[in-house]
Structure 1
Amino acid sequence: MTTLWRLTALSDFATLADVVERLDEAHPAVALSWAIFEESDGARLDVLFQSMPDEAAFRRASGLAEDILVEFGPLPEEDWVRLSLQGLKPVEGGRFTLFGAHDRDAVAAGQIGIEIEAGPAFGTGHHGTTRGCLIAFSEMLDAGADPKTVFDLGCGTAVLAIAAAKALPAAEVLASDIDPEAVDESTENCTKNATPGIDCFVAEGLDHAKLAGRQFELVFANILAGPLVELAPGVADILAPGGKVILSGLLTEQEAMVRTAYEAAGLTVHRQPPLEGWETLVATKG
């Protein structure tokens, strides 16, 4: 896994909110993700980067004033999600509630609980992309959808696969990730959530014997805009007629590019309301 870098800035909430608004509008995106946390004496902005950030370039893109001091450094792979979740509470996404072990009593009646601890793999539910997928999936279920075959492409922590297995106990659910560490964590999460029937395996994109000749009624693809575009023809091929794919991991400025790729692959694309600058698309075959 690539070591990420975290930049931290402390100021008042309104000032940092203006910075986040600039980051949301920046094209191309200048960082992987960003979030504001309220502190006792103000607010903290955490920004995650794929590699060591250029502080001057970041200040220009974000409008962060020179008198606001920043700290940044490499974030150990095993710690970055855990650190970013300090102080966060259980998260609801449609009919699903994601929680850590310390919040097992926080799931409201009627909600489907999914226990996910902070760890090295992406997909804790506190990010707009994961929540967007869960909300879109919930809306499908509310509309009467009952897919019997589900595939979580780039599963991370297997949050979405677990949601499918819990909501659709009769469905066959597969989950893959390019990272063996993520697949190990996914397998542990499936056991923890009493969904051991999910088949988790390592695969690069759609290249795996378990996927050869297969079609699925529902596919989750919460990855990144570039891979989503590259995989569009293959995702269309593995969708059964009438099947749907829930796409996320893309910023608002990347939405048109991803939507165009899936429309070109023959799918009808519906845009969900954005969450925190992140987009979720639902594409249907036929």
Structure 2
Amino acid sequence: MASWKLTLPCTRAEAEAIDFETPALAEINPPPVLMTSERVEDDPDSWQLEAYFEGKPNSAALAAVAALVPSAAGTRLVAKRIAEQDWVTLSQAGIEPVHAGRFYVHTETNKGVVPAGAKPFRIDAGIAFGTGTHETTSGCLIALGEHRARGANVRNLLDLGTGTGLLAFAAMHLWPRAYATASDIDPRSIEVTAENAAINGVALGEGAGQLALAAAAGLEHPLLIGRAPYDLIIANILAGPLVELAPTVAMALAEGGTLLVAGLLEGQADIVAQAYRRQGLRLAGRIDRGHWPTLRLVKRRRHGADRVTRRSRGRGEAPGFGSW
């Protein structure tokens, strides 16, 4: 059977928010293979969605895909016939492995030779953001390695907006006895993280050396609240949510704790840093990968009744934890 491809413009935010479980897509038999990528490097408004179909898609199938990216409204929906291919395998083969600091990230098909001393993780390209190929993710991987090299002792960490789970896995490798938590606003990302944990031998659970998972907007979840404060929070999301979440994230971070933020463009770094400075964090370091900075912020130590103290390792309640 011949293959067909539909290409639509979109934004990075739309690409990350695509719901692959929407009933409209489930009605397409077989469902299309979807791929998102940058059309213009480092421009979050210039991404594209490619949908590959087995057999010529009808108008309903095209409309179902177009509905995933509202900014493409008005674009003519024309699928082009292409040579028959295994598009899943092709999508993996087009991705190069990434060596970032202490880590080496690859897919099922491109592992190659792991560099000496590097910890490999297999993260296949798919429906969640964070495969290691983008500068925001690789910048966080490097920042994590540098944090460990400085002698940081992390006992309780949170990967906020985990995507594929990669950054949580990397942090757990560096601090194997830490209590680790990963959350995402998209429940499907939590499913992907669980799948990737199994592939990479990462134990799930709520004990030391295990990864606890939660689908949550911001920190609005009993598990996330109950396990605070964290001495390391990683947040590779977008500048807007980072600014809006600043009071919540600062409250969840222990005094003297470290916050790594990414997902922002070069021109947004000062705005994000200022938002956290208002919450008592200071900018302690920065890594630039292309036009994508990763910021390291440290919460200043304070004294008195306003100090955040850990209640328990279980689920609890606390005021002031909101969503974006």
Report the alpha carbon displacement of residue 85 of structure 1 after superposing the two structures with TM. Answer: 5.8
Report the alpha carbon displacement of residue 114 of structure 1 after superposing the two structures with TM. Answer: 1.0
Structure 1 position 235 matched with structure 2 position 242? no
Give 3-state SS (helix, strand or coil) of 1:103's partner: coil
Report the alpha carbon displacement of residue 200 of structure 1 after superposing the two structures with TM. Answer: 1.4
Which whole-Å deviations, capped at 9, do the CAs of 1:197-238 have from their partners, x for residues lacking one?
211121111100012251111110000111000001111111
Contact in 2 for aligned 1:218/1:239 (Cα 8 Å):
yes
* Aligned with residue 52 of structure 1, among 38, 46, 71: 71
More helix by share: 1
Structure 1 position 2 matched with structure 2 position 18? yes
Contact in 1 for aligned 2:163/2:184 (Cα 8 Å):
yes
In 2, Cα distance between equivalents of 1:256 and 1:229? 11
Aligned partner letter, 2:280: G
Specify the alignment match of 1:201 in structure 2.
Answer: 214
Contiguous gaps of at least 5 residues in structure 2: 1-16, 20-33, 49-67, 80-86, 204-209, 301-324
Name the CA shift for 1:142/1:50 in 2 (closer, same or farther; >3 Å).
Answer: farther
Aligned partner letter, 1:208: H
Identity within the alignment, %:
40
Which whole-Å deviations, capped at 9, do the CAs of 1:15-62 have from their partners, x for residues lacking one?
xxxx75xx66xxxx53369xxxxxxxxxxxxxxx9643599xxxxxxx
Which whole-Å deviations, capped at 9, do the CAs of 1:169-223 have from their partners, x for residues lacking one?
1111100011111100001111111112211121111100012251111110000
Name the CA shift for 1:254/1:273 in 2 (closer, same or farther; >3 Å).
Answer: same
Contact in 2 for aligned 1:5/1:53 (Cα 8 Å):
no
More strand by share: 1
Q: Tell me the TM-score normalized by structure 1.
A: 0.74
Q: Tell me the TM-score normalized by structure 2.
A: 0.65
Specify the alignment match of 1:166 in structure 2.
Answer: 173
Name the CA shift for 1:7/1:181 in 2 (closer, same or farther; >3 Å).
Answer: closer
Contiguous gaps of at least 5 residues in structure 1: 10-18, 34-48, 56-70, 74-79
Name the CA shift for 1:32/1:173 in 2 (closer, same or farther; >3 Å).
Answer: farther
Contact in 1 for aligned 2:100/2:141 (Cα 8 Å):
yes
Matched residues, number: 237
In 2, Cα distance between equivalents of 1:173 and 1:111? 21
Name the CA shift for 1:81/1:53 in 2 (closer, same or farther; >3 Å).
Answer: farther
Contact in 1 for aligned 2:287/2:295 (Cα 8 Å):
no
Specify the alignment match of 2:277 in structure 1.
Answer: 263
In 2, Cα distance between equivalents of 1:215 and 1:205? 15
Name the CA shift for 1:162/1:82 in 2 (closer, same or farther; >3 Å).
Answer: farther
Contact in 2 for aligned 1:123/1:157 (Cα 8 Å):
yes
Report the alpha carbon displacement of residue 280 of structure 1 after superposing the two structures with TM. Answer: 0.8
Specify the alignment match of 1:211 in structure 2.
Answer: 224
Structure 1 position 192 matched with structure 2 position 211? no
Report the alpha carbon displacement of residue 2 of structure 1 after superposing the two structures with TM. Answer: 3.1
Highest Rg: 1 or 2?
2
Contact in 2 for aligned 1:93/1:132 (Cα 8 Å):
yes
Superposed CA RMSD: 3.1
Aligned partner letter, 1:52: S
Contact in 2 for aligned 1:5/1:52 (Cα 8 Å):
no
Report the alpha carbon displacement of residue 84 of structure 1 after superposing the two structures with TM. Answer: 6.8
Alignment of 1:22-41 (within 5 A): 30-31=45-46
Aligned partner letter, 2:217: E
Contact in 1 for aligned 2:162/2:183 (Cα 8 Å):
yes
Specify the alignment match of 1:249 in structure 2.
Answer: 263
* Aligned with residue 288 of structure 2, among 270, 274, 286: 274
In 2, Cα distance between equivalents of 1:269 and 1:72? 48
